[in-house]
Amino acid sequence: MQWLLAPDGVVNDDATTGSIDEAFDFLLDARGGLFGLDVVLILQGSHVFSTTVNIPSKQTRHIAQALPFMLEDNIGEDVEDLHFTPGERDSEGNVGVLSIRKSVIETIVSEFDRAGLSLTAIIPDMLCLPANDSEWVFVTDGHQLITRTSKYQALSIELDALPILLNALFPDTGEEGHKAPVPGAFKVFVTQEFKSDNFENWLKTQITSHLVDIETALDLQHIESTEFVYLCDNVDGDSLKQCNLLIGPYKPIPKRAPSLFNWKPTAVLLSIFMCLFVGFQYVQASKLEQQALQADTEAKALYRKYFPRDKRVFDVRKQMKSHLMNAKSGSEGTGFLPLLAQVGEKMNEMNRAKKSQVINPLRISFDQVQGQLKIDCTAPGFDDLDKLKKALETLQLDVEIARASQDGDKVKARVNVRSAS
């Protein structure tokens, strides 16, 4: 991990390396306290996925509900395990979105809280680069390559993958002569950590081979600082506002109440941290994997001891919970049929109140382990879903609109219902 202090927002070259606890001690020695300190973490971009989706609704709440539903087919992971950060919506309905595993962001926040440093923002490193649709920016230290080709099209990869990336950015010309959009400017920055004529010649060869017959000039420059200091120097108010991963449940608590006066703290410090997890992950992943295998073996052995009739053990937690739910099903919770009857009654009331059908169920499933009824349905609008939710809550039921997105003139949604007892 590297860090530096930026008094009055001015970045210097005094970067220091060490652990989070060492950073805490450094800040105490340098400042004498942490009051008024903003802590910004620049996270390695390989942990973050950035893309753009089109959402008709302008309401922030509806956009947040629609994101998992729209991205589940494009992401090779369970959307329930991901945290989404939507950006601004343009006039055509395009919304930039960042996604990161919840486990990663929870680990980072908890580690900084443990050390006594509450984070103000977490920004992916590639989104610290300048954003301009007519300009592409590449930055490399000889090992990593950070790129940004538009506001939400950015990537952080190993430098060895540069040829693959260039082939994707400059596809072959089609039969009809159609060419992919190219930038007006192509800037490549090489940091002082890897200055080499051989390396620069290789870099120029790789890029210029794709610029033949294209009116885009390559501008290769040197940065007289490290990659970390360069990224820190590009962090500004817009990037903190638009690219901060700490929203929703991870939104930081304000450090001070807003003032009615336009005053500036006497010591406004921007403390920027770059968390280099690569080496740390290799060591920790191996250790945690061994511990996980050992814990899984012990858990399965204990499960077989108490439930010898179960020949196949595939998920100890879910199977154990299923046994407990079955043991208590006679006296607690609400089963499938009672839940279905209650939901059906409220849907019928809403449909009878209007001439056309309001709530149209498409598919219904029941999770016996969680005692949850899952209903995929369509409705004329988001307000009708809210009315259904409020109607079911009057029956002492826990109701969650898990996903909702505009599908033509209808809203397609998933509603989860369970007993509140």
Write out the DSSP string of 249-300. Answer: GGPPPPSSPPPSS----TT-EEEEEEE--HHHHHHHHHHHHHHHHHHHHHHH
Least Cα distance to 38 among 123, 162, 131 occurs for: 123
- Say if domain 131-169+180-223 classifies as CATH 3.20.20.70: no
Domain spanning 1-129+234-256+264-276: which CATH class is it, in words? alpha beta
Burial class, 365, CB count within 10 angstroms (exposed 0-12 / middle 13-18 / buried 19+): exposed
Distances, alpha carbon 258 to alpha carbons 33, 254, 263, 264, 333, in Å: 21, 9, 11, 12, 46
Q: Are 24 and 105 in contact (CB under 8 A)?
A: no
- The residue count for the chain: 421
**SS3 state of residue 71:** helix
Q: Are 359 and 388 in contact (CB under 8 A)?
A: yes
Distances, alpha carbon 247 to alpha carbons 57, 175, 241, in Å: 20, 46, 10
Q: Give exposure, 330-362, as e/b (b: 16+ Cβ within 10 Å).
A: eeeebeeeebbebbeebbeebeeeeeeebbeee
CA angle 77–79–84, rounded 5-degree value: 115
Residues 6+ apart with CB under 8 A from 212: none
CATH fold for domain 336-419: Gyrase A; domain 2 (3.30.1360)
The single-letter code of the amino acid at 194 is F
pLDDT score at 412: 92
What are the strands, taking DSSP E only, across 328-396?
Answer: 360-367, 372-379
pLDDT score at 268: 53
Mean pLDDT (10-residue bins), the chain, 421 residues: 75 77 79 76 82 73 70 70 79 78 88 85 85 83 84 82 84 54 82 76 84 80 82 78 82 61 50 60 74 79 71 74 59 68 87 81 84 89 90 90 88 89 65
- Kindly report the pTM of this predicted structure: 0.54
Residues 138 and 157: their CA atoms lie apart, in Å, by 11
Number of separate helices (H) and strands (E) present in the chain: 11, 17
In degrees and rounded to multiples of 5, residue 338 shows phi and psi of -60, -40
**SS3 state of residue 389:** helix
Residue 370: Cβ within 10 Å count = 15
